[in-house]
Structure 1
Amino acid sequence: MQVTGQQGIPSTIGKLTALLTMMHDHAMGADIVRKLEADGYRHTVGKVGSMDSAKVIAAIETAAKNNRVIDEKRYRETHGLYHAILEALQGVSRGTPQIRDVLRTVGLTFAIVRGPLSTEQGQPDEGEWICVCMYGTIGAPKKGFEHEVLGFGINHI
């Protein structure tokens, strides 16, 4: 599977989601958004900070619904998103998605992208997928006691 588009921007949903999460507010972010839109992906970016993993999940789910990445009336779309969020949250928290219970807090930027696994010519149609990436910090609920984290989840719809 090729992973680079004609202009050097990746063409897989996972790489695009990770890049969008980390680069959305940099010069390269506009190129990534143009690539996503040209290839028909639905996407959004948001931020959340909390000591409660349920609030992180709710913020991402709300962003996906409000920005029409998923149709809230279709259970399978919400269900697929939920599993992608949990997988990404496990990456952020290094396993069990506990935050408050172990006195940790997160400050995250997240991206949600929906579409095919790849837009490269000749790749089989695998249906629609949803991808969630989170990047930010985790640590004790005191400024200066955190470190960077990255979490990633992908699920079929």
Structure 2
Amino acid sequence: MLKVEKQRIGKNAVMLALLEEGEEFNLPGNWQSCRGKVGSMDSHKVVAAIETAAKKNGIIKTDVYRESHALYHAIMEALHGVTRGQVQLGDVLRTVGLRFAVVRGNPYENEQEGDWVAVALYGTIGAPVKGLEHETLGLGINHM
């Protein structure tokens, strides 16, 4: 069984993103999470898929701008890792196939620190030719 670490929001997000279909991983306490998949040659479609999943699963409130803003920055940070700092896909003839996880919670002992959000991306990136891609991983963390 995988070990959950209640003060490691990023590690827990990565663990969720790495899970195969049907595998389980329970997060600590009152943390929230969602998972999904996205494949695209357009980075804006990756962002949209993650934002949509987070909103549909109640990870962020749709009517609170700072929550969408925090999630956006966590997504962009994770995409920087996936794309090695150049958040471009189709423009430079590369595509991604990713599993993602979004985790929200307070990784601190002090409740007044508030919630944070972590976005983990795991999958493949490469030329838009099946079999020419390689693995990639990205993680972004931001305070709400």
TM-superposition CA deviations, 1:21-54 (whole Å, max 9, x none): 102535xx42x22xx1x51111100000000000
Of 92, 95, 101, 2:85 maps to 95
- Would the alpha carbon gap of residues 134 and 8 (structure 1) be closer, same or farther in structure 2, given more than 3 Å must change? closer
Name the counterpart of 2:75: 85
Aligned to 1:25: 21
Match of 2:51 in 1: 61
Name the aligned partner's letter for residue 152 of structure 1. L
TM-score, scaled to structure 2:
0.92
CA RMSD of aligned residues (A): 1.4
Q: Output aligned runs, 1:1-157, within 5 Å.
A: 8-11=3-6, 12-25=8-21, 29-30=23-24, 32-33=25-26, 36=27, 38-118=28-108, 123-125=109-111, 126-157=113-144
1:7-33 per-position Cα deviation (integer Å, ceiling 9, x unaligned): 84322211111101102535xx42x22
Q: Distance in 2 between matches of 1:58 and 1:95?
A: 19
Partners in 2 of 1:138 and 1:114 — Cα distance? 26
Give identity over the alignment, percent. 55
Structure 2: which 5+ runs fail to align?
none
The list of structure 1 runs, each at least 4 consecutive aligned residues, that deviate by more than 4 angstroms after superposition, is none
What SS is found at the alignment partner of 1:80? helix
* Structure number with higher helix proportion: 1
Aligned length: 141
AA aligned to 1:155 is N
